[in-house]
Structure 1
Amino acid sequence: MLTLPRAIVVMLFVSLVSVAPPVFAEENLNLRIDLAGRQRMLTQRMARAACFIAVEVDVQSNKQVLLESRTLFGNSLRTLKMGGGAEGFLQETDETALSDIADIEQIWFKMQRKVTGFTKPGAVTLDELREFSDISTELLTASNYLAITLEDKARKEGSGLSPATALMINLAGRQRMLVQKIGKEACLLQMERKGVAAGAKIDTSTFNETMQVFHESAFGLAFGSRQLGLPAAPTPDIYEENGYSWQRWSIMNALVSALEVDILSERDMRELSWDIEAFMSDLSRTVKLYTAL
């Protein structure tokens, strides 16, 4: 029997370890991308719920949404950094990801302290809501950098997650954020329209841009898009879910587009509040199908 010298055995072992793809990257990177994507959504969900409370629409439900989202964002941020959680993550070691998380923590410190002040209906002004919205957008941008960093990890050699799948998880997760951002911006427009003369011109460019991004992504996820680099839906069940989301979006689009020229009725605002949360749940279910690929 051939016996290799101990030094050679050690060298071979070290060499194998250095080139073997990490188990963590293969098994949990898709879940990290999903969790980071959910953080983006929570930034807008908090601001959206705060605005709906201010206009006294579905107050109790939105108060619960606001407070639960604050807790969930903080807990998930710790999990992304320190590991653990239901997903059993390892502690983050990537320098770029840790830098992204540090940036998020600084903004989150500002935002979380303001949440309690927005839990009372009619207690805040439009200017205060705009300030809160601006912080939520700042937090969204920082959270998005982390999602992109994690997606880039999937492109590195040795990752078990294909770039196409990583992109689909990222964009499908972004849809959850965009539907909340649409709700936030629609609510702010509603408040602004109530405070000006009927027919007065209001800047809706940001609102329209958010709507357009959601529209293009919804179409691309459902039917494929060369522009976005999206292949067709990879499985029949994902195709079915994305097709249903496209139909649902058509209905919501018609509802909120009325804000271009007029305020929404109280009934329409209640419907929008409910539909945003229901739509988000459906979109989250679709993301889970992508992460299971």
Structure 2
Amino acid sequence: MLLPALGAAEEARPGAALGLGAAINKAGRQRMLSQRMAKALAMQVLAVMPDKAGSLLEQSRRLFETQLRELATLQPNEAIRSNLGELDRQWALYRELLGRPRTADNLLLVLAESEKTLRLAHALTGLYEKQASGNAGHLVNLAGRQRMLSQRMAKCFMFEQSGVGSPALKAELEAARRDFVAALGELNAAPENTPEIRIELGLANTQWLFFDQALNGQESNRTIAQRNVATTSERILEVMDGLTGRYEQLMRG
């Protein structure tokens, strides 16, 4: 499933200043996109829905660049200004690699640059969260990180399937799985949850069961197993993106 409306719920009106909640959301979404683009590249190599993977990669690339421009409009301190500059330079390197031929050497470089991009985007999200008062900013960051973890798990799975990647991929997938389950528990228990948020959390819990089952690789047909991970990772991403938007609304409210 492709998500043409990904992030549409909290887009700022034309000419409107970017709010702090939206900044935490968008910076957090950059983390996810760093992993999603690498996942899409591996899908192309594996011929897992290659046309859709190409569309997903291009959509993610455009959204990353759009959000970089939007985040540049909210630079309340030097640490955020510095991080945005680093992220912009890192993105230029990553974007160039994403356009190279899908060789084994280039895929290894993409894997490395996806990690560097992720680290900078994660640091930026934390810097924005520090500007927020109360717990709502933390919840936006936490829910938003679930989007990244969904794509990170799928990325590790796809790279491992392709035979291109580091020996640590399986360990990284399991670490991301543990982090996702722990954060889902924290979100379910958050006292700030509204009835609408609890409904979306119910969807997230259900989609996690499907995604976790796909990641476990119980499907004997390799092609079907890869496709299952590709589709379920997008479904849970969609739910977690909507949930992150709900927590952002708490900050605006």
TM-score if structure 2 supplies the norm length? 0.85
Of 33, 38, 42, the residue aligned with 1:47 is 38
1:183 and 1:276 in contact (8 A); partners too: yes
Pair 1:282 & 2:248 matched: no
Percent identity among equivalent residues?
25
Pair 1:107 & 2:86 matched: no
Of 141, 145, 148, the residue aligned with 2:123 is 145
Query: Given the superposition, is the C-alpha separation of residues 168 and 50 from structure 1 closer, same or farther in structure 2, using an over 3 Å criterion?
Result: same
CA distances 1:84-123 after superposition (whole Å, capped 9, x unpaired): xxxxxxx5242111011111122111101112225xxxx4
- Output the aligned Cα RMSD: 2.4
- Gaps (5+ residues) in structure 2? 1-15
Residues 22-171 of structure 1 aligned to structure 2 (within 5 Å): 28-81=19-72, 83=73, 91-117=74-100, 123-125=102-104, 127-155=105-133, 162=134, 164-171=135-142
Residue 168 of structure 1: CA displacement? Answer: 0.5
- Measure the CA separation in 1 of the matches of 2:193 and 2:168: 42
For 2:172, the equivalent position in structure 1 comes to 206
- Measure the CA separation in 2 of the matches of 1:245 and 1:264: 26
Residue 263 of structure 1: CA displacement? Answer: 7.5
Of 217, 225, 235, the residue aligned with 1:268 is 225
2:207 and 2:232 in contact (8 A); partners too: no
Residue 258 of structure 1: CA displacement? Answer: 2.8
The structure with higher relative contact order (CA 8 Å, sep 6+) is: 2
Residue 193 of structure 2 aligns to a residue whose secondary structure is coil
44-53 or 127-136, which deviates more: 127-136
1:51 and 1:188 in contact (8 A); partners too: yes
**Which structure would you say has the larger Rg?**
1
AA of the residue aligned to 1:101: L
AA of the residue aligned to 1:236: P
TM-score if structure 1 supplies the norm length? 0.74
How many residue pairs get aligned? The number is 234
Residue 264 of structure 1: CA displacement? Answer: 5.9
- Measure the CA separation in 2 of the matches of 1:66 and 1:264: 25
1:175 and 1:283 in contact (8 A); partners too: yes
For 1:258, the equivalent position in structure 2 comes to 217
Residue 275 of structure 1: CA displacement? Answer: 1.7
Residue 57 of structure 1 aligns to a residue whose secondary structure is coil
